[in-house]
Amino acid sequence: MSDIIEFEPTAYHVKNSPEGPALDISDFNLWYGESQALFDCNLEIQKGQVTALIGPSGCGKSTLLRCLNRMNDLVDGLRIRGRITVDGFDIYAKGVDVIALRKRMGMVFQKPNPFAMSIYDNITYPLRVDGVTKKSILDETVEHALKQAALWNEAKDRLNDSALGLSGGQQQRLCIARAVASDPEVLLMDEPCSALDPIATARIEELIEELKGTYTIVMVTHSMAQAARVSDNTAFMYLGRLIEYGDTDTIFTNPQKSRTNDYVTGRFG
Ligand SMILES: Nc1ncnc2c1ncn2[C@@H]1O[C@H](COP(=O)(O)OP(=O)(O)OP(=O)(O)O)[C@@H](O)[C@H]1O
């Protein structure tokens, strides 16, 4: 049993310090009711780097990603065994403030999901919920977040327009801006380009390259080409098990396990 009973957000402010992994997943198992979806997963996710989760459909990539900010908590019949720590804090320990945890672990989904409100309000909404009302702080946050998400030039003259009027790629960059506005340490991305065309995809990939270092990024992708282009490390999953994990070049060019090799060379998947 864990000896950590309180989640301490302050501990997260040591952003991407060079020592140790940002996230440590150890002996992690998960069941949806009677059905086990994750088996003894062990993975250290390095700070400031991009880690890709790859593997065939249904192998548990999204399940594992969603455990990293406890997005699975509301699923009926969900059980877990094992441990996930963020900067040494057990995120499943008793007393953890899950809302505070999710602020530290921003999430970007497959389909862009801006709120039906203005571009400005999309970014400031989480701050307002936290009681921030000072206009200068809100303005500054909007500009900074949009610049970080490479959307400032396209959006600065239409901040009060509806976010739903943006293109799909712009909407996804807005969702990234909204995630970074809360000043997270980690960005979790679940197939962030799957609904986008190749040009919008290339913009998001460039953005991921720019954001890494400032943020630790964990990304689920179906595209092996994308994993090879943008990630530093790759974890290959199969049937709920983590089969192999290593630096992306090695996983794609010299994997140790035959199943990894079969997958990355397109023999199945
Ligand atoms: N909410 C849920 N309730 C019950 N079973 C679920 C739930 N979510 C996922 N599963 C099951 O868990 C397993 C892993 O699913 P998951 O979505 O994590 O896989 P994935 O690798 O992300 O798949 P894909 O690439 O198709 O998105 C699958 O067998 C899936 O049917």
Beta strands 216-220 and 186-190, pairing class: parallel
Please state, in angstroms and rounded to a whole number, the distance separating the CA atoms of residues 203 and 85. 31
Please state, in angstroms and rounded to a whole number, the distance separating the CA atoms of residues 66 and 149. 22
Q: Bridge-partner residues for 162, per DSSP?
A: 118
Q: Which domains does the chain have, with CATH numbers?
A: 9-13+20-115+185-264 (3.40.50.300)
* Binding site membership of 221 for ligand 1 (Cβ less than 6 Å): no
* Binding site membership of 66 for ligand 1 (Cβ less than 6 Å): no
Ligand 1 center–CA 60 separation, angstroms: 6
φ/ψ of 107, rounded to 5, equals -125, 140
Query: How does DSSP classify residue 201?
Result: H
* Binding site membership of 79 for ligand 1 (Cβ less than 6 Å): no
Q: What is the pLDDT of residues 71-108, one digit of tens each?
A: 999 899 999 999 999 988 899 998 899 988 998 999 99
Q: What is the pLDDT of residues 251-267, one digit of tens each?
A: 999 999 999 999 999 88
Ligand 1 center–CA 61 separation, angstroms: 8
Question: What is the average pLDDT score of the chain?
Answer: 90
Question: ∠ at Cα 265 (260, 268), nearest 5°?
Answer: 75
Q: Is the dihedral of CA 113, 116, 118, 123 positive or negative?
A: negative
Q: Which residue has the higher pLDDT, 197 or 3?
A: 197
- Once rounded to an integer, what is the mean pLDDT over residues 56-77? 95
Q: How many residues does the chain have?
A: 269
pTM recorded for the entire structure: 0.90
Please state, in angstroms and rounded to a whole number, the distance separating the CA atoms of residues 172 and 109. 9
- pLDDT greater than 70 at residue 4: no
State whether residue 82 is helix, strand or coil. Answer: strand
Ligand 1 center–CA 33 separation, angstroms: 13
ipTM of the shown complex: 0.98
Token pair for 169: 């790629």
Q: Is the dihedral of CA 49, 144, 185, 109 positive or negative?
A: negative
Q: What is the pLDDT of residues 19-42, one digit of tens each?
A: 568 899 999 999 999 999 999 999
Which protein residue's CA is at the shortest distance from atom 27 of ligand 1? 57
Please state, in angstroms and rounded to a whole number, the distance separating the CA atoms of residues 141 and 123. 8
Nearest-atom number in ligand 1 for the CA of 59 is 21
* Binding site membership of 37 for ligand 1 (Cβ less than 6 Å): yes
Which protein residue's CA is at the shortest distance from atom 2 of ligand 1? 32
Q: What is the pLDDT of residues 105-119, one digit of tens each?
A: 999 999 999 999 999
